[in-house]
Structure 1
Amino acid sequence: MPIKKVIFIVSVFLSILTVFRFVWLNLYTTPNHPHANQGVLDLRNWEQISDSSITLDGEWEFYPNTLLMQRNADPLFPEKGSEFIQVPGNWDFADEASSTYGFGSYRLRILVDQEKGKTYGIRLPNISSSSEVYVNRELIARSGKPGKNRQQYKPLNVPYTTYFTLEEAGEIELVIQVANYDNPRNGGIIRSLKFGLADPLNRDTGFAINVVLVACIIYMLHALYSFIIFLVGNRDRRFLYFSFMIVCVVLGTLIGERLLFAWFPFHFDWSIKVTNLALIAGGYFLLQFIKQQLPDFLRAKLVIPYVTVCGISALVTLFLPASYNLVLTQFYSIVVLIPCILTISVMYRSATWIDKSNILLLLAVISAVYSFIWLLIINVLKIEMISYPFDLMIAMICFATYWFKRYFSTLADSQTMTIQLQEADKRKDDFLVTVAHEMRNPLHGILNISQAVVEREKGTIRKKSVQDLELLITVGRRMSLLLNDLLELERFKENRIAIHPKGVSVHSVAEAVMDMLRFMAHGKTIQLVNRIPSNFPDVFADENRLNQILFNLLYNAVKYSHDGEVSVSAYVQEGWARISIADNGVGIDEEFLDKVFEPYEQASRGAILNDSGIGLGLSICKQLVELHGGILEVSSTLNQGSVFTFTLRLSTPSTQQRDVTSAPTEAGNEQSASAAEAFDGSRDVADENSTSRSIRILAVDDDPVNLKVLESTFSMAPYEIFTATNGQDALSMLDRYKWDIIIADVMMPNMSGYELTSHIRAQYSITELPVLLLTAYNRNEDIEAGFRAGANDYVTKPMNAVELKSRVQSLTKLRRSVSERLRMEAAWLQAQIKPHFIINTFNSIAALGRIDLDRMDALIEELSNYIRLSIDFQNSDGVAPLNDELQLVRSYLFILKERFGDRLHVVWDVDDYIQSDIPPLTIQPLVENAIDHGILKRAKGGEVRIRLKDEGQFIEVSIMDNGEGMDEERLKQLLDRKSGKRSGIGLLNIDRRLKQLYGKGLEIKSKLGEGTTISFKIPKMLN
């Protein structure tokens, strides 16, 4: 923070403190009143005596070395030897070289109004060092015992208030006898006495005491929460020193107001010692607090001498008598000022150089020092006012504000760091998962190639080479387990683990796992023992997951054991099976047992510390067991072995029948999954081979190796595979050829598999052209992104050939089923029309038989052609020659022309030499629709035009009429599949078949009262 700004803030702050102080002084200063003169205080005719208390300041009559009031004797009022002395003030005995030691009597005559029975009071805050109060020659109160010598004298200086009732009207004779043999600095009436009627005096005294008490309670609350923070936090000594410093402030406040000694009447000697010790301790704790708060700004060479001075001063205070301690009090006040000045300097530098929030600490210290300076001013100038607590309160508020600001700043930093650590942790997990995914593909290739070489060349290569290859396979499998653990942990974090429990034999699973792990025990004298009886009750668990749990625990036991025995045992307890894996290995450190199930944690196991593994197996086991509702525990002794025990619920009779058809849900047991898929896949392949038509596949991947794998997988009948290395090439091939399915990799440059799928879905629906995505990730968000883009299914890399073929066959079967449904729907629609159409045609034939036999013969021939072509189309598969479709239309129009005559005018506009294939019953229903719903709606009829134009690679087919036409709303509903209207179902069927084959459907333009044009495009030759 700039220096000028700091100076400005401090100046404004001091100005505010000064204003508050003077406002308080103005509000609670004793009102102007008569003062004592020549030993007389005249309060007659002073009306404010009934509303407020006053001070008895002024000239009192003083009798040095005389105690006027004697017990059991008349008062002594010598004619000579008295003098007038200013009260309050220190007495000095002239004949004893200004000594404060001695005794004497103060006398004051107070003149009041002529009213009897009033109760008055006197407040005596500080009389050094013992006193007795007499009113009208009667003893009414005392503090200590004044005496003519030290033997007769008993010191006690505490504030007290005494009350009396005036029996004789008009005058109060007040005598205060004082003795002092302990205080070398002050003697006599040191502070102003308060006088007044009982009620005003009680009010003013009570207010002054309550102000001090409230202030001290507030201070102590700050001390308490600081001490609690020290205890429950990280034992930051700043809070400890701060709380002790506040306790010293509270002691100083109570001592200054003499309240502490009123509550706890210490011996006079100890009261002085407590006062000095509070001063010394306050300075010490202040300096230690600043040292802890700003260690860079406070050098040790300044702190150590001061601490030494404080220690010596405390010892001196404890052992010296009160008279010497009183003399040293001024020195101790200077000692306290040293850390105050250092603190202001340090806070100023830290606020201007380091942290601008330190300005709060600077203001707090300034406020506390400001209060101390005013205390000195009040004592020197003998200003009578109620204690002002707000300077110190403001100091506490500044301290508290600083701590809260630091707390929220630290909290914000912690939250930021937490977010950063969480992001770093997520990046770490993502990195590990990515590495695991990327390593699995080449690792599987290495294992497959190695296994193939071993099986193929086992008889031709040396035995040592075979053993090396088998070792390579073993190491690769161990690495594969490690990668599976990484992927499994990611699935747990994303809550993508599902279990399918059923009755499972623990004995059988344990036996199978031990057989798998025997290769790890080579070179070790370890026995794998299955102590679970064969008739042990089945447990209710997911068999694949139980296999995984036992494998990880046994793998862990074998890895950390050199010899001895690794055993599996189980027993039943209250409906649960408790399964234990015990080993004689190196054991686990006791302090590590609580962390052994945390991810990425590995125990310190002596010489095996650097063995393979990253500490995921046990964490996965614990989560899998808890997913089944059980618990996983461990007990271990270092160098003696470990026992891992987990619980699983026993299978009830209703669940003991094995569910052999349930498939694994995750890749945890790849062998079981592959076997299930191989069975289904072989059946699908046989079915597919029975079909007459091949499956045309377009594979899209930027990795040539993956494309080679796909080509190899689909190299045999009934598959026909083509490849593209990017999305743009795939889209260009999409328009030129007809495909049964698209297989696309998700991660490709320029255009991802998701984008390619979106482009495909713009032309083809999900049933018209299936899309199968290949992804290296199996996360929910990746799968969801694929389905959102329009993919039908996905396969996770590394690909399993049987699984891939099965999914391709399922999707192509679905596509063909939809195509067959559309073809049958078209045939059904045509069948709905024929009876009505044929009946009308027969009526026309009957009518022509009576008037024109030649026309009747021609009509019969065209009807025969129409029926023959319709039957051929219903038996066709997918497409038919364009000329056959046009011939059907000609026959249909000839029949209608005979029926409607001049009402129907037909125009043919067909380019020469146009040849192609077309979905059957495509043009004829459109012509029928134009005639029935367009031309014949008009009484005078109209014209229908059939136009086929050659446009290079495509043929545009248009059916135009000048009939009724349609409005915009009807036009929008016509091809809307979700519309409830059913009048356009024939058009909808044609539109869907065209889109399935060519990616584009019907285009309809119409205007109400002017006619309709329906057009579509087909390729010249269908490949």
Structure 2
Amino acid sequence: MLAEKSRGRNLQRLLPAAAVLLVILAVHLFLERGPDHVVEIRPVDGMLDITGVDLSHEVANVDNSWDFYPNALYTSADFAAGVGRPVPEAGDPDAGSEPRYGTYRLIIKARPEQYYAICSYSIDYSTRVFVNGTEVASFGTVADNAAAHVPQVGSMTIPLYSGASGEVEVIYQFSNFVHRDGGFIQPTYLSTPQNIEAFKADNDLASLSLSSGLLVLFLYFLLCAALQRRGTFLLLAVCCLMMALRDQNFLVVHALPPGTSWYLTYRIFMTVTALLPGMVLLLLGSLYPGTVKKRLTILHAAAMGIAAALTVVLPTFWLVTVCTAAWICAIPYLFCLIWGITRHYLRRKSFQLVDALAAGGAAMLILSILMEAAYVNNSSAVSHYGIMPRGMLIFDLLIAASISLRAREQEAALSESRSRSELLERMNAMNLDFLHQVAHELKTPLTVISGYAQLTGLQMSTGHISSETPENLKVIRSEALRLADMVTKLLEYSYGKTSEAQFATVEVGPLLESVRAICTPMCLKNSNRLDLSGGTCADVCGSWELLLQVFINLVINANRHTQDGVITISASDRERREHVVFRVEDTGSGIDSAQLPHIFEKGYSGDGGSGLGLSICREAVEAHGGILEVERTGPDGTVFMFTVRKKEAAP
């Protein structure tokens, strides 16, 4: 029953994820939709008749069956003078060895006085285009020898005008001395100039959306790898970058600057093409650690490294061979990985939602690799743009969802497993904080006792005993009783008893006099004078001990930062209707602006103190329903202000 409920919950989670994935795929297909109507047309004996084709709302995909003349660079004048018959196009097994240069020719028969345009990529390696005898485009340098040949590729859009005769002659000259494969015509599209521009815009949008999305994922995973130091994220980043560059349209037209050397462009493209399957398999292996033996993984990675080095140092003539060899070398690792992943789930005997997301992403990526391997030699579109980038995008989305869900589950499990230890840590932290506060509270009366004892001892040693001496002894006795009371409360706390602060009517005048009596000796050590103001204001409701402690802590802080100055304690019941406003003002050095936002934080101290005094003061004032703040600070001194409810305003 529990297993059935778990499967039901997983299905409920999987359905929204599947819906989101379908929406993303629909958006991508919409961006890649191309023209609304594409018609296939095929030349016959070098002649393309479009007189009966309505291209006002359609784009024609022209079959690449042009007349082909190998090892000759013909122009319109040559054809007008009469040349040999065309032979099967380059790449056809009947054509024999691949030609190093040649000419393609197509006669388009259209209605007179019409404007058209064709768009395509140049023939690989170098191309020169003529329309009705006029050169209209050139990529690289076409030549009949290797010394003069300069390779270059690029996207081209050629305008056509049928004229009075309705015929348009299109000639492609090409040369290739850098690669074993001969040149061949790329997919060519023919329509009105407006339709061609719209067609190109749709293709660019699809290409840019996919590759740009993969580049964003590259930056994201690269940042994750830097922050988390995980090899899986680094492999994800590398695969996303390579998938983005796998699209030749994006690489040539958008990523690389115009005029980039063909040799560099070609090496980048072939390096990406050669390494992609192997890098993807290494990525999948890192997602399923232990499914493939470590020795085999090292050998596979070494093979990828050798392939990368060869694409850099070998002549371009051999790069396709290196690419093919790299793909073949990845096959054993692929089968081992599929078997290892299958065995991984069989051993676990469970298949959760995170497993479905991860396995689904891996399956989509492996399927895209196999499809590209099957069609790369049969389709120009696959060889140039690939299928793997789409599989990588789906994989990234599913893996990101899997990682997020797995992290949440691990976080929940970790939170549950460590709840008891965290509780103990919090209790220890609370006890430690309590001990710090108790130590700080015990230190204050001891400081007062020590100060008055020294003053009284000095008076007795010099024989200057006055009426102040008995008062000093009373203060020592009072502080000793207060210290004893604090120790008693501490013992009560340690034995599990409670002793909450008792709130009652507190007369402000006597409270301030007690503060002056206690703090005057401390102030005299720094040659400071302690003044009182406003002792006749209304009574307040609170704890005598807590309020006394607040004043003592504030005076101690003021005295620490004041020398040969005045510390003034004042009270006013006229500024606020329900509160008495107290101030402790000094003429000291003030508080640094950088430290001001942190002075009430526990443990923070700008002068080497414990960092507890002001935090204790704020807690005590807030317990009285008031506020404590720095009213003013600067080179002329600091004013701390706090409020306490009046007796008649107490709740």
Which residue, 30, 39, 60 being the options, matches 2:46?
39
- The answer to whether structure 1 residue 544 and structure 2 residue 545 are counterparts is yes
The alignment's TM-score, normalised by the length of structure 2, stands at 0.63
Residues 536 and 555 from structure 1, CA distance in 2 versus in 1: closer, same or farther, beyond 3 angstroms?
Answer: closer
Which residue, 145, 152, 155 being the options, matches 1:156?
152
Q: Which amino acid aligns with 1:110?
A: I
Which residue, 359, 362, 376 being the options, matches 1:379?
376
Separation of aligned partners in 2, 1:32 and 1:58: 14
* 1:20-419 map, 5 Å: 33-44=40-51, 46-57=52-63, 59-69=65-75, 74-75=77-78, 81-86=84-89, 89=91, 94=96, 98=97, 100=98, 102-112=100-110, 115-184=111-180, 186-227=181-222, 238-254=232-248, 259-260=253-254, 264-279=258-273, 282=276, 286=280, 289-290=283-284, 293-295=287-289, 297=291, 300-334=294-328, 348=342, 353=348, 356-382=353-379, 391-406=391-406, 408-409=408-409
The range that moved more, 320-329 or 379-388, is: 379-388
* 1:496-645 map, 5 Å: 502=508, 508-509=514-515, 512=518, 533-535=529-531, 543-548=544-549, 571-572=566-567, 577=584, 598=602, 620-621=616-617, 623-624=619-620, 629-630=628-629
Separation of aligned partners in 2, 1:246 and 1:274: 15
1:271 positional shift: 0.8
The Cα offsets for residues 618-641 of structure 1, whole Å up to 9 and x where unpaired, read as: 853553367651469xxxxxxxxx
Residues 52 and 374 from structure 1, CA distance in 2 versus in 1: closer, same or farther, beyond 3 angstroms?
Answer: farther
Residues 133 and 296 from structure 1, CA distance in 2 versus in 1: closer, same or farther, beyond 3 angstroms?
Answer: same
1:422 positional shift: 8.2
* 1:713-728 map, 5 Å: none
1:134 positional shift: 1.8
Separation of aligned partners in 2, 1:511 and 1:119: 105
Separation of aligned partners in 1, 2:415 and 2:54: 64
Query: Does structure 2 conserve the Cα–Cα contact (< 8 Å) formed by 1:153 and 1:179?
Result: yes
Residues 194 and 169 from structure 1, CA distance in 2 versus in 1: closer, same or farther, beyond 3 angstroms?
Answer: same
Q: Which amino acid aligns with 1:218?
A: G
Q: Which amino acid aligns with 1:357?
A: V
1:249 positional shift: 1.2
Aligned residues: 547
Residues 647 and 390 from structure 1, CA distance in 2 versus in 1: closer, same or farther, beyond 3 angstroms?
Answer: same
The Cα offsets for residues 749-790 of structure 1, whole Å up to 9 and x where unpaired, read as: xxxxxxxxxxxxxxxxxxxxxxxxxxxxxxxxxxxxxxxxxx
Query: Does structure 2 conserve the Cα–Cα contact (< 8 Å) formed by 1:57 and 1:86?
Result: no
1:338 positional shift: 7.1
Separation of aligned partners in 1, 2:269 and 2:256: 14
Gap runs ≥5 in structure 2 = 436-480, 571-582, 589-597, 632-636
Residues 257 and 108 from structure 1, CA distance in 2 versus in 1: closer, same or farther, beyond 3 angstroms?
Answer: farther
Residues 360 and 150 from structure 1, CA distance in 2 versus in 1: closer, same or farther, beyond 3 angstroms?
Answer: same
Q: Which amino acid aligns with 2:269?
A: T
1:264 positional shift: 3.9
Query: Does structure 2 conserve the Cα–Cα contact (< 8 Å) formed by 1:347 and 1:359?
Result: no
Secondary structure, aligned partner of 2:119: strand
* 1:888-927 map, 5 Å: none
The Cα offsets for residues 657-688 of structure 1, whole Å up to 9 and x where unpaired, read as: xx9x989x9xxxxxxxxxxxxxxxxxxxxxxx
Residues 85 and 49 from structure 1, CA distance in 2 versus in 1: closer, same or farther, beyond 3 angstroms?
Answer: farther
1:381 positional shift: 2.6
Q: Which amino acid aligns with 1:118?
A: Q
Q: Which amino acid aligns with 2:131?
A: V
Separation of aligned partners in 2, 1:595 and 1:294: 51
1:76 positional shift: 5.4
Query: Does structure 1 conserve the Cα–Cα contact (< 8 Å) formed by 2:599 and 2:614?
Result: no
1:146 positional shift: 0.8
**Which residue of the partner structure matches residue 761 of structure 1?**
none
1:248 positional shift: 1.8
Residues 50 and 529 from structure 1, CA distance in 2 versus in 1: closer, same or farther, beyond 3 angstroms?
Answer: closer
Q: Which amino acid aligns with 1:398?
A: L
Identity of aligned residues (%): 17
1:204 positional shift: 3.4
Residues 487 and 239 from structure 1, CA distance in 2 versus in 1: closer, same or farther, beyond 3 angstroms?
Answer: farther
Query: Does structure 2 conserve the Cα–Cα contact (< 8 Å) formed by 1:226 and 1:239?
Result: yes
Separation of aligned partners in 2, 1:281 and 1:500: 83
Secondary structure, aligned partner of 2:170: strand
Separation of aligned partners in 2, 1:344 and 1:578: 77
**Which residue of the partner structure matches residue 922 of structure 1?**
none
Residues 397 and 259 from structure 1, CA distance in 2 versus in 1: closer, same or farther, beyond 3 angstroms?
Answer: same
Query: Does structure 1 conserve the Cα–Cα contact (< 8 Å) formed by 2:365 and 2:391?
Result: yes
Q: Which amino acid aligns with 2:546?
A: R
Separation of aligned partners in 2, 1:425 and 1:369: 48
Secondary structure, aligned partner of 1:84: coil
Separation of aligned partners in 2, 1:308 and 1:618: 63
The Cα offsets for residues 958-986 of structure 1, whole Å up to 9 and x where unpaired, read as: xxxxxxxxxxxxxxxxxxxxxxxxxxxxx
1:169 positional shift: 2.4
Residues 126 and 368 from structure 1, CA distance in 2 versus in 1: closer, same or farther, beyond 3 angstroms?
Answer: farther
The range that moved more, 473-482 or 161-170, is: 473-482
Query: Does structure 2 conserve the Cα–Cα contact (< 8 Å) formed by 1:348 and 1:362?
Result: no
Residues 41 and 484 from structure 1, CA distance in 2 versus in 1: closer, same or farther, beyond 3 angstroms?
Answer: same
Secondary structure, aligned partner of 2:515: helix
Separation of aligned partners in 2, 1:401 and 1:32: 40
The alignment's TM-score, normalised by the length of structure 1, stands at 0.43
Query: Does structure 2 conserve the Cα–Cα contact (< 8 Å) formed by 1:57 and 1:193?
Result: yes
Secondary structure, aligned partner of 2:45: coil
Secondary structure, aligned partner of 1:380: coil
Query: Does structure 2 conserve the Cα–Cα contact (< 8 Å) formed by 1:351 and 1:359?
Result: no
Separation of aligned partners in 1, 2:517 and 2:101: 107
Identify which of structures 1 and 2 has the higher relative contact order when contacts are C-alpha pairs closer than 8 Å and 6+ apart.
Answer: 2
Secondary structure, aligned partner of 2:88: strand
Secondary structure, aligned partner of 2:78: coil
Query: Does structure 2 conserve the Cα–Cα contact (< 8 Å) formed by 1:109 and 1:171?
Result: yes
1:213 positional shift: 1.9
Query: Does structure 2 conserve the Cα–Cα contact (< 8 Å) formed by 1:348 and 1:359?
Result: no
Query: Does structure 2 conserve the Cα–Cα contact (< 8 Å) formed by 1:579 and 1:647?
Result: yes
Residues 380 and 616 from structure 1, CA distance in 2 versus in 1: closer, same or farther, beyond 3 angstroms?
Answer: same
Query: Does structure 2 conserve the Cα–Cα contact (< 8 Å) formed by 1:630 and 1:646?
Result: no
Query: Does structure 2 conserve the Cα–Cα contact (< 8 Å) formed by 1:39 and 1:108?
Result: yes
Separation of aligned partners in 2, 1:49 and 1:199: 10
